[in-house]
Amino acid sequence: MMTKLVNLTYKYSILGVFIRLVSYISLQMINIWYEITASLRKNKIGRSKYRELLDLEDKYKGKRCFVICTGPSLTIEDLEKLKDEYTFGMNSLCLWKEKSSFRPKFFGCCDLGVYRKLKYQIIDYCSNRTEIFVSDRLARQDTVDKNWHIVPLNVAYHAYSRWFKENFWCKFRPNAYVGVYDMHSVTHFLIQIAVYMGFTEIYLLGADTNQVLGKKVHFQDYGVPDTTIGTARERNICGYEEIKKHMNEYGFKVYNATRGGMLEVFERVDLDEIITN
């Protein structure tokens, strides 16, 4: 939807001014609403539909976890090594249901287009063995299981800058109950949730971050093209750099256990050594 609106602003100058104005005002209003409701939850005011998330705060305090991304470097062999670890899966990982007995402890999806494409595979893949986190926007626009965790996700706060100016910036908030910020990918969404749950060592796997037009982006294509692939790497790095700024403040550390790839924001570690130790 946003891609179409942006394209119209380039195609029709007068209409483009109107689209920009309406988009800016609409996104600002949505952002204000999100910030007001987040402030109310922070101050324990009102009856929140997200109250069940409070049970997860610091539940895994001091433990480590692995956030499994879907870059082309991801292998089934590495997944099998993580069976006894706390793991977060995401999006198209569900497509490996028949190839591996591995199932993540947690699973996340926050993009509506991805969810609609993979909905039934996700349900089948996770069944009752995995706790699932989805964004509130996704839950409003499609059906989700009543036992899934719905997390308030503020996408509006930087959407105008992203879509109409290609100015990429983001905020970080490690409080799933108050509400997390969109940081350009589901990986960032899950890292904020992991910090809220108390994990202090977070290892990224399959976070290749080498999105280049015409080259393989995921370990398996699932038919949802990124219409903004040209800026995908820049946006992802922006999110990772913002996370890194807050590691000392909130007492957590992110490491990159990806085999290869182009992510150099975090300290690289060897997956086999981490598992052995």
- The pLDDT of residue 10 is 65
Percent of the chain clearing pLDDT 90 (strictly above): 75
How many residues comprise the chain? 277
- Provide the domain limits for residue 113: 51-276
- The pLDDT of residue 117 is 93
Which whole number is the average pLDDT over 176-181? 97
Give 264 or 46, the one with higher predicted confidence. 264
Q: With a cut of 70, say whether residue 109 has pLDDT above it.
A: yes
Question: Is residue 86 within 8 Å of residue 201, measured between CB atoms?
Answer: no
The string of pLDDT tens digits covering residues 27-81 is 999 999 999 999 999 999 988 899 999 999 999 999 999 999 999 999 999 999 9
Which whole number is the average pLDDT over 114-121? 94
Q: With a cut of 90, say whether residue 239 has pLDDT above it.
A: yes
Question: Is residue 172 within 8 Å of residue 15, measured between CB atoms?
Answer: no
Assigned token pair, 175: 């409080």
Domain count of the fold of the chain: 1
**Lowest-confidence segment of 13-17, 144-148, 221-225 by average pLDDT:** 221-225
Residue 201 in domain? yes
- The pLDDT of residue 151 is 97
Residue 2 in domain? no
Give the integer Cα–Cα distance in Å for 41 and 143.
24
CATH number of the domain within which 57 lies: 3.90.1480
Q: Hunting for tokens 């182009």 — which residue is that?
A: 262
Rounded to whole angstroms, what are the CA distances from 224 to 205, 215, 243, 272? 21, 15, 26, 32
Please count the other Cβ atoms lying within 10 Å of the Cβ belonging to residue 181: 22
Residue type, 43: N
Q: What is the pTM of this model?
A: 0.93
- The pLDDT of residue 214 is 57
Residue 163 in domain? yes
Residue 17 in domain? no
- The pLDDT of residue 197 is 98
Residue type, 10: Y
Rounded to whole angstroms, what are the CA distances from 117 to 19, 52, 111, 120? 29, 28, 10, 8
- The pLDDT of residue 163 is 86
- The pLDDT of residue 232 is 87
- Give one DSSP letter per residue of 168-234, joined into a string: --------TTT-EE--SSHHHHHHHHHHHTT--EEEEES------TTS--SSS--S---TTGGGHHH
Question: Is residue 121 within 8 Å of residue 97, measured between CB atoms?
Answer: yes
The string of pLDDT tens digits covering residues 135-170 is 999 999 999 999 999 999 999 999 999 988 889 999
- 233-261 burial code (b ≥16 CB/10 A, e <16): bebbbbbbebbeebbeeeebebbbbbbeb
Give the integer Cα–Cα distance in Å for 168 and 184.
9
Average pLDDT of every residue of the chain: 91
Q: With a cut of 60, say whether residue 111 has pLDDT above it.
A: yes
